[in-house]
Amino acid sequence: MASIIPSYPDKFPYYEEIQVRYADLDTLQHVNNVSILEYVEHARTGYYRASGIWDGTIREGFGMVVASVKIDYLASIQFGDPVRVGIKLGRLGNKSLHFRFQVENSQTEVVFSRGEVVMVAYNHTEGHSMPVSPEWREKLAAFENNQELLASS
């Protein structure tokens, strides 16, 4: 069964350069799928810091939890490939943030994988989801240069 091919932007507002480690390789001598998910996680937390919604401090609960991850693997990453991950906020709901990503060769822009991570705003103290704060909406809209995010839900 083929995945629906989403329309990805030519450029993302945030890119994270990734250093492929020897430990990322599997027995087929390419980067294992689990490592690619780690690359996306690393880039996503970099996006949080760059956008201003997280200061990088580790404390009880950040205010979001992962609800869903979807990855299409399109080409193998080899040891030594120059890799970067582009992240974009695709949709901002009342309680959810849908991040689109693309893992690509930073020199040739060959796409290795792409997909979406859905995060849910979460109150860790009370143990339930919560609305995305107006402060986060303002920071994300400014970072994405997209004022429509202020009104979306």
The predicted pLDDT at position 59 comes to: 76
Q: What domains can be seen in the chain, in order of their start residue?
A: 14-150 (3.10.129.10)
Q: Which residue's entry shows tokens 């704060």?
A: 133
Task: List, for residues 69-112, the tens digit of each pLDDT value.
Answer: 999 999 999 999 999 999 999 999 999 999 999 999 999 989 99
Asked if 121 contacts 129 with a C-beta cutoff of 8 angstroms, the reply is yes
Task: List, for residues 114-151, the tens digit of each pLDDT value.
Answer: 999 999 999 988 999 999 999 999 999 999 999 888 77
What is the distance of C-alpha 122 from the center of its chain?
17
Q: What is the pTM of this model?
A: 0.89
| Closest residue by Cα to residue 68 from 45, 36, 100, 46 | 100
The pLDDT confidence band at residue 153, using thresholds 50, 70 and 90, is low
